[in-house]
Amino acid sequence: MKVSSEMIQKMHQETEKVWVPEFVRVIQETKDPYLNLIYDTDPLEQIFWDNVVLVGDAAHPTTPHGLRSTNMSMLDAAVLGKCIAKRGAENLQSALREYQTTLLPVVSKQVLRARRMGRIKQGLVLPDREPFDPKNSRSEDYQELLQEDMPFFDDVPLLLAVRKIVEMAANKAATAARVAFVKIVY
């Protein structure tokens, strides 16, 4: 999107109200800023139709504020593979239903969390909190913005099996690395 001079002027005025002087200077010294609009959508109610299944951002378009998109996409693939392996290719519809039932509640929470974090970070008004002001905030004001270990993923039973497989692989890799280290050292 091409940025107009009026938009640049407004951006400069807004940054002076919110950001520290060093960041304000960087913004003001940028000659041709590019405005990158961020869109998301409400969580989907369905992510498969017949033999078509959505994974990744197609299944859960989310803003970048939650830092989850890539992780969620890898998780989608792991859960989809697990469901198909469990049900068999001959029962694809059943596997896709299980994939949808397992994933939708989890990724829906992630989409809504990322949206909320984006609105907080941008200082927008939310019904249950004051607008975030980085210049005048207290440490408590930052608590909701802290990144957590993939929240909402602990309550999905199928994912526990995937997590266990990853942990086992990590343990085997760590053991192999220790053995290799011992062989090199001695």
Same domain, 33 and 44: no
Structure tokens at 165: 């497989």
CA-based angle 30:35:38, to the nearest 5? Answer: 140
Same domain, 104 and 172: yes
| CATH code at position 44 | 3.50.50
Same domain, 12 and 71: no
Residue 161: its pLDDT value, please? 54
The answer to whether 105 and 47 are in contact (CB under 8 A) is no
Residue 23: its pLDDT value, please? 83
Residue 49: its pLDDT value, please? 95
Scanning 88-156, the segments in alpha helix (DSSP H) are 92-121
Same domain, 27 and 73: no
Residue 155 banded pLDDT, cuts 50, 70, 90: very low
Same domain, 10 and 83: no
pLDDT digits (tens, 9 = 90+) for 24-38: 888 888 877 777 777
Same domain, 22 and 50: no
Task: Answer yes or no: is pLDDT of 13 > 90.
Answer: no
Structure tokens at 43: 């969580």
Task: Answer yes or no: is pLDDT of 111 > 90.
Answer: no
The answer to whether 171 and 133 are in contact (CB under 8 A) is no
Q: How many domains does the chain have?
A: 2
Task: Answer yes or no: is pLDDT of 10 > 90.
Answer: no
Same domain, 7 and 47: no
Same domain, 28 and 59: no
pLDDT digits (tens, 9 = 90+) for 45-102: 999 999 899 998 899 888 887 777 777 888 888 889 989 999 998 999 999 999 999 9
The answer to whether 122 and 38 are in contact (CB under 8 A) is no
Same domain, 16 and 80: no
Q: Which residue has the higher pLDDT, 91 or 178?
A: 91
Same domain, 76 and 10: no
Same domain, 77 and 159: yes
To the nearest 10 degrees (0 to 180), the angle between helices 21-29 and 5-18 is 170
Residue 178 banded pLDDT, cuts 50, 70, 90: very low
Same domain, 33 and 46: no
Residue 162: its pLDDT value, please? 54
Residue 183: its pLDDT value, please? 40
* Cα–Cα distance measured from residue 112 to residue 106, given in angstroms and rounded to the nearest whole number: 10
Structure tokens at 120: 């907080």
Domain that holds residue 144: 40-185
